[in-house]
Amino acid sequence: MSGETDHSMEARTAQGDELEPPASFVEQANVTDPGIYDEFAENWPECWEQAADLLDWDSDYDTVLDDSNPPFYEWFTGGELNASYNAVDRHLDERGDETAIEWIGEPTDEANRSYTYRELHREVNEAAAALRDLGVGEDDVVTMYMPMVPELPIAMLACARIGAPHSVVFAGFSADALATRMNAADSEYLVTCDGYYRRGDALEHKAKADDGLASVDHDVTSVVVDRLGDDYDHPMRDDDVDYDALVDEHTGADVDPVSRDAEDMLFLMYTSGTTGEPKGVKHTTGGYLSWVTWTSQAVLDVKPEDTYWCSADIGWITGHSYIVYGPLSLGTTTVMYEGTPDYPDKDRMWEIVDEYETTQLYTAPTAIRAFMKWGEQYPAEHDLSSLRLLGTVGEPINPKAWKWYYEHVGGEDCPVVDTWWQTETGGMMITTLPGVGEMKPGAAGPPLPGLDVNVVDGSGQPVDAGDAGYLTVDRPWPGMLRTLYQNDERYVQEYWAEYSDTDSDDPDDWTYFPEDGAKIDDDGYITVLGRVDDVINVSGHRLGTMEIESAIVGVEGVAEAAVVGGNHPVKGEAVHAFVITEDHADGGEELRERIIQGVEDAIGPIARPESVVFTPELPKTRSGKIMRRLLEDIANGDDLGTTSTLRNPDVVDDIQAAVEGE
């Protein structure tokens, strides 16, 4: 492009400037009426019948929202349905021979697999029969510890079919993380695999799963998918069952979908918390499924004839909502990719978009920053004209990355939806409706219709436009978490007690606090600024500082540790550890490596510290609280501001010197 065009683009995509969605997009968009915001506000909560109407119900619901016991809200009470039926069976008549899942594997194209809705139906039924034969019944939690292989969504849908909630553990997490989650969920069943491919190499996975099972405090039946074939001869334990052999025993099985109450649990998703103990977020069948289906249609503009690609991992909530349940409930083709964006070359993503004529791409700002770093020549090598919409998820995106994505991937013809949401919300909360709203690079957008989202100060009062504050959600929504598994008290304390009268039974007195900072402009567009709790957002994935610190302190020779997030050009945030050694320990390279290894063993490579700084003390207030703000400033090289509240202000100079000496 010419320099003049670049300058014009820079001017038009500066933060705060507005861009209209392309007229060609608006003409075909699923939602185009700006009046939807007023309509939903005036007809709340009955407005959410529009979401429920996107599903097939076995029994009609009696009430849209039961808010008689806040914050334990219930949605579509009295209704019954099955998530597997809604994602698969109901599409068979019209879409049976159309592709449901397009799986792109490694290391060669020969590994790729396509599943029509009819084929997916067969696979899900056979897997459901197999699990039921093992003893899995309604309400039994089945854990899945698997990478991006098609057997993962098949197993999820099979569990949903027989009324067994699933709990997916990200394959990159450690054996300890698996054991912690299985113990917390009382899960007696595991579906895992022998391994997977990454950058052309076969990586074993089962040994890690076995290590985790050794720390589970009850018996577990484990089903093992053979992904690697002859590349890895995996050992089988006495309680292991081969997935293929088990499913083959149920060839042609037909399993009736179990009708589930709208409030019955569909799945558990464990997410990091500030206490070090992962939180088991409970999502239910009716509210969650209606929410992800409606947002997939309204925000991602998904249509049955699309080939839609969300590049997330199903081990995280984004993959649950916007690879599996939302797209499949709309009868579209959803793309799953096993590999990395830069293997075998840095144009791999664009090669896939070109070859499969992908219509939407929903990815993370972390990936976009990497694409920018690699260069615009890679997307330029491919025909990306099939793309109709672009989306971002996982963390805020800065205007520069937004502009690059809009220009070099979307060709300035695709609206960009910058979505804010979290595991607990189930699906999108803040974003533009691409067929309705103007885009402002750097700002996620207004709350979705029917949502009451605000930015407030420390006392709960609205902040002025442009000022920073705390994000709050002042009304319930269908996709919300219902509680934390077997821990209602923690659910209330962590999410609802910040600005609420916890003795009140009036739903208007309850406010959901997602623990993110934000600011709002005069048009009601919200810019999310990041976490305000002790959670680090690495590549869009939330990691609890307490969990990382516990892993570090568990390393021999470590007396105390503090972990903070520091700015990173690609990851968004990186983990920085500040460590006090025991008197006899040498704070040298050997201990540093053991600390890094200890974190990877306890949590996984995603939590690997970017730096480990040894210090004689940590900056603490007079009450003994670690002043993490100072450590964050040191990690980022920022001005430190006042240290007058510290009981040991001299330590700041020592820590800065240690960082500079690295």
Give SS3 for 13. coil
CA 415 to chain centre: 22
Residues 6+ apart with CB under 8 A from 156: 144, 166, 168, 267, 314, 320, 324
Q: Inform me whether the pLDDT recorded for 326 exceeds 90.
A: yes
- Specify the DSSP element, H or E, that contains 100: strand 99-104
How big is the CA angle at 29 (ends 25 and 32), to the nearest 5 degrees? 105
32 vs 143: CA distance, rounded Å: 40
Do the beta carbons of residue 364 and residue 392 sit within 8 Å? yes
Percent of the chain surpassing pLDDT 70: 93
* Structure confidence by residue, pLDDT tens digits, 449-469: 999 999 998 788 898 888 888
User: 3-state DSSP: the chain helix, strand, coil percent, rounded to 5?
Assistant: 35, 25, 45
C-alpha closest to that of 149 among 225, 240, 229: 225
Could you tell me which residue, 305 or 645, shows the higher pLDDT? 305
Contact assessment for residue 528 and residue 258, using Cβ atoms and an 8 Å cutoff: no
Dist. CA 45–CA 609, nearest whole Å: 45
For residue 603, the model assigns a pLDDT of 86
Instruction: Write down the pTM of the prediction.
Output: 0.85
CA–CA dist 446, 430 (Å, integer): 6
Three-state SS letters, 481-507: CCEECCCHHHHHHHHCCCCCCCCCCCH
pLDDT single digits (tens) 571-620? 888 999 999 888 757 788 999 999 999 999 888 888 999 999 998 888 87
Mean pLDDT over 274-278 rounds to 66
pLDDT at 13: 40
Sorting pLDDT into bands at 50, 70 and 90, what band is 502? Answer: low
Q: Residue 9 — very low, low, confident or very high, per pLDDT cuts 50/70/90?
A: very low
Contact 281, 165 (CB under 8 A): no
Whole-number pLDDT of residue 348: 96
DSSP-derived 3-state class of residue 290: helix
Tokens of 484: 């934390």
Which element (helix H / strand E) includes 568?
A: strand 558-568
Residue 632 burial (10 A CB sphere; 0-12, 13-18, 19+): middle
Q: What is the rounded CA–CA span in Å between residue 529 and residue 398?
A: 10
Residue 412: CB partners within 8 Å, gap ≥ 6?
Answer: 9, 406
Q: How many CA atoms lie within 13 A of 512 on its CB side?
A: 23
Coil, helix or strand at residue 462:
strand
Domain boundaries, the chain: 535-660
pLDDT band, residue 621 (cuts 50/70/90) = low
pLDDT single digits (tens) 345-395: 999 999 999 999 999 999 998 899 889 889 999 999 999 999 999 999 988
pLDDT, tens digit, 9 for 90 and up, residues 386-432: 999 999 998 888 888 899 999 999 999 999 999 999 999 999 999 99
Q: Which CATH superfamily is domain 535-660 in?
A: ANL, C-terminal domain (3.30.300.30)
Determine contact, residues 294/52, Cβ cutoff 8 Å. no
Q: What pLDDT shows up at residue 498?
A: 55
Of 580, 542, 577, 551, the C-alpha closest to 563 is 577
**In which region does residue 539 sit, left (phi positive, over 0), alpha (psi from -120 to 50) or beta (all else)?**
left
Torsional sign, CA 591, 273, 210, 319: negative
Count of other CB atoms within 10 angstroms of residue 230:
7
Instruction: Name the helix (H) or strand (E) containing 653.
Output: helix 651-660
- The residue count of the chain comes to 662
Q: How far is CA 604 from the centre of its chain?
A: 16
Whole-angstrom distance, CA of residue 193 vs CA of residue 524: 47
pLDDT for position 12: 40
- How many C-beta atoms lie closer than 10 Å to residue 354's C-beta? 18
- Grade residue 10 by pLDDT with cuts at 50, 70 and 90: very low
Strands 63-66 and 189-193: unpaired
